[in-house]
Structure 1
């Protein structure tokens, strides 16, 4: 996995020393993270993402997914079934209402 930490840092307009200070680590600790020579903890990756205003996925070089791309493909089928059921129920309710309610003429 290719780390894109340097790219994200430069995009934010920060120098290694600046982000290292913000992360409360030494530049000698931070530099190898950018080069992929050392692994950071999940907490450190999260802190980097917060300071760099990006996601951990972006730092890791993963494509950024929109919310719809995280959905389970079965959700669409379930949603369709629920909508069909709601439409059927609404149609049945309308039939019942038309049958059981007095008409305007009968109400007089």
Structure 2
């Protein structure tokens, strides 16, 4: 039996003026899977991650979480959907563990309530 699709992206496109960073991207993620997105500079990897995390809005396409279409308007909205994004250029805190650095945004969000 196939595991359910947790995240599904279809027809996703994003442009910056005349530059098409993403064109009709499709992607599915199921429970227990690990994916790597690789490509040369300018291929759209970071743009795709920023759309999934709500940092950027897509020009077109659909994002589904647990089978329902969603609009991810911010990183906080992404977190509420169970989506987390670890930036490659973040300022880490050297006095805490890797896990604590990764979950820092969750810790900060829980203190803001």
Give the number of the structure whose residues are more often helix, by fraction.
1
Give the number of the structure whose residues are more often strand, by fraction.
2
Fold shared per TM-score above 0.5: no
- The TM-score, its normalising length taken from structure 1, stands at 0.25
